[in-house]
Amino acid sequence: MSATYNFCAGPAMLPMPVMAKAQQELLDWSGQGVSVMEMSHRSPEFVALAKQAEQDIRELMAIPNNYHVLFMHGGGRGQFAAIVHNFLGEQGQALYLTDGLWSKAAYAEAVKLTCTEQIVEAKISHQIEANIAVQLPDFSQYSQDFRYVHYCPNETVDGIEIFDTLDCPWPVIADMSSCIMSRHIDVSKYAVIYAGAQKNIGPSGLSIVIVRDDMLKLPQLPQASIMDYRLALANDSMYNTPPTFAWYLAAEVFKWLKDMGGIDVMADINRQKASMLYDCIDHYPLYKNNVVKQYRSQMNVVFHLQDESLTAEFLTQAKQHGLVALKGHKAVGGVRASIYNAMPVEGVAALVKFMTEFAEQHSSL
């Protein structure tokens, strides 16, 4: 059977060694005679797994001691609400930077949960002629004392990534669902980092929240106990039954990342993959990417065919070559290749080879 490369934006492919190990251990985990899915989350064996997972992500991301790591329910959208409820309070204000679909969704959720005066939007994506760029705001223009500033460094739908750290006087909260552990970040520059697991961590159903301890002293809004960060911390992320299988797979992904050499090694691989793909797009007139180069996502390469009528044929032929889930998001159309940590260089090379052949077949157009 020829290789199949899954470019899905999420739930995304998992590392093959992790999948193979999960398959091997599915019926008998750690010599227990039962699946990890059947183990009590309060058993000594699973508690040990959870502690090791936290230790590994702390090591991989160099998380300082004054930050807590929570393994939460709810995915990224769940955290949109949890952020508001955990930190805003009745009198607080927050600034939301919007540069794509997901940051706009976080902003919309915050507005829905509060009085509109509490939430301020700053649109930071804009067009330069036909291309999309990002311009961070001059934070000195705001007279408010914001409880936090929220943004999404990598927009999966729009193919935009912000590589610079925000320089602002308020606590920064980042939705890193699609870029966490893809490159080194200085955790100390953020008050909160959260991420849905289904791109670089594991399967859907789990979220990681990295929260600085002083943030947990901010006033809260009423919320469901299951999304209360303070309650999660007091109960080692096990206030209620957590998504144990997703947690197990995340733990295995952390081990795999360590075996690969850590995040700096992974960052080099990710830069190589993205460069291969963007070089192909830029070389052939058939393809176009309209994001200014310095803001092009390394995780989600979004492009269109100059002749949009060829898109369906492109996707059909790609699938025949074992290149699947390349259809662009319905909001923007076109093609999207998500190349998270688990996507090997060979997968991107196979896509580039197909794109080259396809472009040469249609070079007369």
Q: What single-letter DSSP state applies at residue 176?
A: -
199 is a catalytic site residue: yes
Length of the chain: 365
Q: For residues 149 and 97, give the distance between their C-alpha atoms in angstroms, rounded to a whole number.
A: 7
Q: Is 278 left (phi over 0), alpha (psi -120 to 50) or beta?
A: alpha
102 is a catalytic site residue: yes
> Which one of the listed residues 56, 99, 158, 199 is annotated catalytic?
199
175 is a catalytic site residue: yes
> Which one of the listed residues 175, 247, 255, 327 is annotated catalytic?
175
Indicate the residue type of 18. V
Question: What is the greatest pairwise CA distance in the chain?
Answer: 65
The number of beta carbons lying within 10 Å of the beta carbon of residue 76 is: 23
Q: Is 42 left (phi over 0), alpha (psi -120 to 50) or beta?
A: alpha
Helix, strand, coil percent content, the chain, rounded in steps of 5? 40, 20, 40
Q: Is 128 left (phi over 0), alpha (psi -120 to 50) or beta?
A: beta
> Which one of the listed residues 29, 102, 170, 247 is annotated catalytic?
102
Q: For residues 162 and 164, give the distance between their C-alpha atoms in angstroms, rounded to a whole number.
A: 6
Q: For residues 334 and 312, give the distance between their C-alpha atoms in angstroms, rounded to a whole number.
A: 9
Q: For residues 155 and 128, give the distance between their C-alpha atoms in angstroms, rounded to a whole number.
A: 18
Q: For residues 172 and 102, give the distance between their C-alpha atoms in angstroms, rounded to a whole number.
A: 17
Which residues have C-beta within 8 Å of that of residue 182, sequence separation ≥ 6? 200, 263, 266, 267, 270, 298, 299, 340, 341
* Positive or negative: CA dihedral 164, 12, 284, 312: negative
Nearest CA-CA partner of 57 in 225, 339, 252? 252
Return the ∠ at Cα 256 (arms to 254 and 257), rounded to 5°.
Answer: 65
**Which residues are part of the catalytic machinery?**
102, 175, 199
